[in-house]
């Protein structure tokens, strides 16, 4: 499922993070490898992350990434279900 831009641009919700599309994951890993993420959310704070997560449908698949030092992501497609 793709996060709708209507949900993410709702002015009633004060989010400060960034919802990026087609983002190269290599830019976020120590090894500098990784394919394209269809969508990547970068919260500005824990409170911002909580607001973002409340907007998602309960069945939305998520993949959590930390700072990238322990992440090795293939350059091809990665399906998160």
9-40 pLDDT per residue, tens: 555 455 789 999 999 999 998 888 889 988 99
Q: What is the pLDDT of residues 29-78, one digit of tens each?
A: 888 888 998 899 999 999 999 999 998 898 988 888 888 778 778 887 66
Enter the pTM of the model: 0.72
User: In sequence order, which ranges of the chain are alpha helices (DSSP H)?
Assistant: 5-8, 46-55
Which residues touch 38 (CB under 8 Å, ≥6 apart)?
A: 2, 21, 22
From the list 68, 76, 77, the residue with the least C-alpha distance to 27 is 68
Which residues touch 52 (CB under 8 Å, ≥6 apart)?
A: 15, 17, 41, 43
């Amino acid at each position: 499922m793709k996060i709708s831009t209507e949900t993410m641009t709702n002015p009633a919700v004060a989010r400060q993070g960034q919802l990026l599309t087609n983002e190269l994951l290599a830019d976020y890993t120590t090894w500098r490898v990784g394919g394209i993420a269809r969508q990547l959310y970068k919260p500005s704070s824990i409170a911002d992350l909580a607001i973002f997560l409340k907007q998602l449908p309960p069945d939305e698949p998520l993949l959590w990434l930390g700072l990238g030092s322990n992440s090795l992501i293939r350059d091809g497609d990665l399906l998160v279900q």
